[in-house]
Structure 1
Amino acid sequence: MRAIDLLNGRLKLRHLVLVAAIADHGSVLRAAEHLHLAQPAVTRSLREVEHILGVELFTRGPRGMTPTLFGEAFVEHARAVLAELRRAGERITGLADGQVGTVTIGTLLAGSNVLLPRAIAALKRERPGITVIVQEATFDAQVPRLLDGEIDMVLGRLNPIDDQRGLRQIVLYGEPVRLVARAGHPARDRAGLTLADLLDYPWVLPLQQTALRSELERMFRDRGLPLPSDLVECTSVLTVRTLVRDTDMIAALPDLVARTDAEVAPLPLPLDPVRRQVGVTIPDRRPLTPSARLMLDHLRTQAAEITGS
């Protein structure tokens, strides 16, 4: 007998259930009662599977049906197959209910410091079986992966998507941008501080392909100023905050980021033209998975709590 014979469609799932039931209950009659089938139907099905396999699976004795050597081997595999099918059913149910699963979030600078950790914590309290994967990159780098389904959503400052078909954006809250420096930065001692004064210090700016970088560059141009010559380009919140805290570097950070580090504080120089809408970008034509829908719900809830709306 070749193993391929078991994959030609003749062997049915009911055969596995029936053989396991006979082994469990020790007789055709009790197996039939357990399966709510007529005894002749069970006997006929047992003959079918023995014919397919070409061996005898059970022998009759004074104590009922006893598996043969072949029967013991087949019952072991039948039980394993049935157990895997039960687990598959449980997993599918869990996925459909959002009890288990994976949600992958592409994150930008805004939202990654306060909103996202709070939303993840709330989600994990409610559904500990869901795995959350967070991947940081620029918006342009995230879009192809979002469209391909490698990530479920992008959280951060909403970038223009006029030329990006198949995307939809959901606004969560509005947030100003602040120029920040370490608490003891020498620029804080300057009277009547201006943007031009800050060109004397090193800066950390977002990468060129980000919307915030474009707005900051426009701000310098509108004031007739060049970009800082002493410059680091970075979008990692941790790296930016560490550089600002440990050096004289100046950075433009979302207000929530700026207000969550006691050693970093906004400079007395407002950036009124530079505001941002923080939200999620999701595929327009592909529905969110149950896990991703739950993540989005928690992002909305936490955003409302943060803004008091």
Structure 2
Amino acid sequence: MRAIDLLNGRLKLRHLVLLVTIADQGSVLRAAEHLHLAQPAVTRSLREVEQLLGVELFTRGARGMTPTLFGEAFIEHARAVLAELRRAGERISGLADGETGTVAIGTLLAGSNVLLPRAIAALKRDRPGITVIVREATFVEQVPRLLDGEIDLVLGRLNPIEDVRGVRQLTLYSEPVRLVARVGHPAHELGRPVLADLLAYPWVLPLEQTALRHELEQVFAAAGLRLPGNLVECTSILTVRTLIQDTDMIAALPELVAMTSEGIAPLPIPLDPVRRQVGVTLPDRRPLTPAARLMLDHLREQAALVTRTGST
């Protein structure tokens, strides 16, 4: 099949919407309900695309419709095309009145509890018509979303991007990472504890694919220690804070998270080797929409305030 075959008018925008919806909903029936179409019409349109491409895009199973290898590849491009069209519409709208649009932000642990809420609040005060979407995940999971246009920027601790093409990073501020435990935790009574003194307690650490986890592993290795055996892996800030507050778990948190979380107190053990840069990761070649540019402006303003005041 030649690429020109997709530009001869037979492939319609509705076909792309249909394929993405089937993949998201997991069945033709649910896709039809979601799109307010009759099921036979959805089935017919799916067959049209498969005949045009000359391959099967979905297989039926006990769990519904599953994309084939060809389906996964084509749907990835369909999502990117639809994302670009949405961005084009938002850009035109933003240029026309500067009052509406959507900005999607991927968030990591750092910056999510103080900087991001403040920046969102400031943006909504200025432009209440802009919709803000926040998606929490690891950096590794966020990058594909950033590249295909599902999100506009990623906020959090800056991860190495030497092996990641198509992105750039801006530093907003520097923030220490602190070891923390609940107020009243026995570790607070140790006087001048060292890392080895904390191995007897349970820990909650970031997932293995995060930069913070890698850096913490280096801290343990430098001290001649293995990671704690009693371990929970989690990057959800709400879950991590609740575990620390309600149990004897110890965790490593960005200082702003530690200092603004009720019932949590830092432990006097330095983590100097841990990287401290908080910033945004942006697409390198795709321009930001007006709404995303405004969001970035407010993030910069609030980061400057955080830097000047030191916290809250």
| Number of the residue aligned with 2:225 | 225
Q: What SS is found at the alignment partner of 1:275?
A: coil
Gaps of 5+ in 2: 1-88
CA drift at 1:192: 2.5
Q: Identify if the C-alpha distance between structure 1 residues 90 and 287 changes in structure 2 by more than 3 Å, giving closer, same or farther.
A: closer
Q: Identify if the C-alpha distance between structure 1 residues 198 and 162 changes in structure 2 by more than 3 Å, giving closer, same or farther.
A: same
Gaps of 5+ in 1: 1-88
Is 1:106 the counterpart of 2:100 in the alignment? no
Higher mean alpha-carbon deviation, 96-105 vs 297-306, is at 96-105
CA drift at 1:90: 11
Is 1:139 the counterpart of 2:139 in the alignment? yes
Q: 1:21-100 maps to which residues of 2 (within 5 A)?
A: 92-100=92-100
| Number of the residue aligned with 1:153 | 153
Q: What SS is found at the alignment partner of 2:176?
A: strand
Q: Identify if the C-alpha distance between structure 1 residues 194 and 150 changes in structure 2 by more than 3 Å, giving closer, same or farther.
A: same
Is 1:122 the counterpart of 2:112 in the alignment? no
Q: Is the 8 A contact 1:91 1:100 kept in 2?
A: no
**Paired residue type of 2:168:** R
Q: CA offsets per residue over residues 254-298 of structure 1, 9 Å max, x none?
A: 000000023001011121221310000000000000000000000
Q: 1:155-174 maps to which residues of 2 (within 5 A)?
A: 155-174=155-174
| Number of the residue aligned with 1:198 | 198
**Paired residue type of 1:253:** L
Q: How many residues align?
A: 221
Q: 1:289-300 maps to which residues of 2 (within 5 A)?
A: 289-300=289-300
Q: Give the Cα separation in 2 of the matches to 1:95 and 1:137.
A: 31
CA drift at 1:92: 3.9
Q: TM-score scaled to structure 1, two decimals?
A: 0.69
Q: Give the Cα separation in 2 of the matches to 1:141 and 1:94.
A: 28
Q: Is the 8 A contact 1:96 1:290 kept in 2?
A: no
Q: Identify if the C-alpha distance between structure 1 residues 148 and 267 changes in structure 2 by more than 3 Å, giving closer, same or farther.
A: same
| Runs of 4 or more above 2 Å deviation | 89-98
Q: What SS is found at the alignment partner of 1:308?
A: helix
Is 1:272 the counterpart of 2:269 in the alignment? no
Aligned CA RMSD, in angstroms, stands at 1.6
Q: What SS is found at the alignment partner of 1:221?
A: helix
Q: Is the 8 A contact 2:204 2:249 kept in 1?
A: yes
Q: Give the Cα separation in 2 of the matches to 1:107 and 1:158.
A: 11
Q: Give the Cα separation in 2 of the matches to 1:255 and 1:243.
A: 17
**Paired residue type of 1:145:** R
Q: Give the Cα separation in 1 of the matches to 2:212 and 2:90.
A: 45
Q: Give the Cα separation in 2 of the matches to 1:278 and 1:92.
A: 31
Q: What SS is found at the alignment partner of 1:282?
A: strand
Q: Give the Cα separation in 2 of the matches to 1:96 and 1:222.
A: 56
Q: Give the Cα separation in 1 of the matches to 2:119 and 2:90.
A: 26
